[in-house]
Copies of this chain bind each other. A is one copy, B any other.
Amino acid sequence: MSAALLVVGSIALDSVATPFGNTADAPGGSAVFFSAAGAILHAPVQVVGVVGADYPLDALKALEARGVDLAGVEQMPGESFRWKAKYSYDLSSRETLETRLGVFAQFRPKLPPKFRDARYLFLGNIDPELQLCVLDQVKDPALVACDTMNYWIHSKRDLLLELLRHIDILMVNDSEARELSGDWNIYRAAHWILARGPKLTVIKQGEHGALLVHPDSVFKVPAYPLQEVFDPTGAGDAFAGGFMAHLASTGDLSPSSLRRAMVYGAALGSFAVEAFGVQGLAVVTAADVRARVRAFKELVRFEVEADPP
């Protein structure tokens, strides 16, 4: 059995309005998008999270059918986590209209024994207290990556800084990196983060792609050119799922492999935004992903001529 990839994050019911349509109580959340993307490339993907009594468990069964291990998903009495948002006409910004934590407010993750052997760990965007709690229960992870958001940056800054000391990769979007570091220059912000623990910073830039920042180098992957984008929700988590699943499936943490993982992440992010909710990922195969990775190669391909004599 190959090395397990574990994710902890939200399992939500999303109600999202875009110029192209709406969803109401559609399955979503960081753990769902991450595992839907990751399962295309790697098994097992183990999920830790919580749902309320009202959650449509069929939606999770679809993930299970694709090799996602839901043994770490608890069902608790009460309401599921709900998120409601509205995107601008050009999808470049969104307004959160409502966040109801529901059962997530009481959730204290307890990993099934077999999950404690996971080698690849993604701490999705939840309370850093819960992220630390999960990290503590995994015995010997080979790689730990972590996401967060502005809400935690402001409300739990000290815990977040504590968490940074124990992870390998912080993976945030550009505005989060700027808020966390207090520096508007994205490269200085990334280095500020590196100075606080992580070996690598990944900066997600939405329609502009993503950066992998190492103390001595920068790698940039653009976003895939899409003439039709329907719903950006979950793109960042699908990115993380593709990134981590590529690393888990190869067991290769070399600099070359990390760069390639960024491209796998960008490919999964691009599939995620081409449909509403997680459904865009349901029909994607590993061969589709590899074809898109090759398309990224063509997107940035150029040859440098020899120096003049």
Cα–Cα, bound, A209→B218 (Å): 15
A304 touches B260 (CB 8 A): yes
Check: A219 CB closer than 8 A to any chain B CB: yes
Name the interface size band of chain A. 35 or more
Instruction: Report how many copies the assembly holds.
Output: 2
A217 at the interface (CB under 8 A from B): yes
* Given A256-B303, A302-B256, A305-B260, A226:B187 Cβ within 8 A: yes
Question: In this assembly, does A71 line the interface, its C-beta being within 8 Å of a C-beta of chain B?
Answer: no
Partner of A205 from B208, B290, B298, B301 at Cβ < 8 Å: B208
CA distance A211 to B262 in the complex (A): 20
Known: A187-B225, A222-B220, A290-B307. A302 touches B208 (CB 8 A): no
Mask, A281-309, CB within 8 Å of B = 1, is 00000000010011001111111110100
A126 interfacial by beta-carbon distance below 8 Å: no
Indicate which residue in B90, B185, B220, B301 contacts A229 across the interface (CB closer than 8 Å): B185
Q: Does A84 contact B (CB under 8 A)?
A: no
Q: How far is the CB of A19 from chain B (nearest CB, A)?
A: 9
Distance (whole angstroms) from the CB of A187 to the closest CB of chain B? 5
For chain A, residues 58 to 117, give those with C-beta under 8 angstroms from any C-beta of chain B. 89-92
Name the residue on B nearest A223 (C-beta).
Answer: B220
CA distance A191 to B225 in the complex (A): 12
Q: Which A119-144 residues have C-beta < 8 A from chain B? A: none
The answer for the CA separation of A218 and B223 in the assembled complex, in Å, is 12
Chain B residues positioned under 8 Å from A154 (CB to CB): none
Interface 0/1 of A207-221, CB less than 8 Å to B: 111010000011111
- CB contacts (< 8 Å) of A302 on chain B: these are 219, 221, 256, 259-260, 262-263, 297
Measured CB to CB, the nearest residue on chain B to A249 is: B308
In the complex, are the beta carbons of B184 and A90 less than 8 A apart? yes
* Selected A-B contacts with CB under 8 Å, 19 pairs: A91-B184, A185-B226, A185-B228, A185-B229, A187-B226, A187-B227, A205-B208, A217-B298, A219-B302, A220-B299, A221-B300, A222-B222, A260-B302, A260-B305, A263-B304, A290-B304, A293-B304, A294-B304, A297-B302
Shortest distance from the beta carbon of A266 to any chain B beta carbon, whole Å: 11
Contact A299 to B229, CB < 8 A, known contacts A260-B305, A307-B290: no
Can you list the 3 inter-chain pairs with the closest CB atoms, starting with the nearest? Answer: A90-B184, A259-B302, A208-B208
For A157, the chain B residues whose CB sits under 8 A away are none
How many angstroms between the C-alpha atoms of A236 and B302 in the bound complex?
21
Which residues of the partner chain B approach A185 to less than 8 Å between Cβ atoms? 90, 226-229
Contacts A91-B184, A185-B227, A262-B302 known; list 12 others, CB within 8 Å. Answer: A90-B185, A186-B207, A187-B227, A191-B227, A217-B298, A218-B225, A219-B301, A220-B225, A222-B222, A260-B305, A263-B302, A290-B304
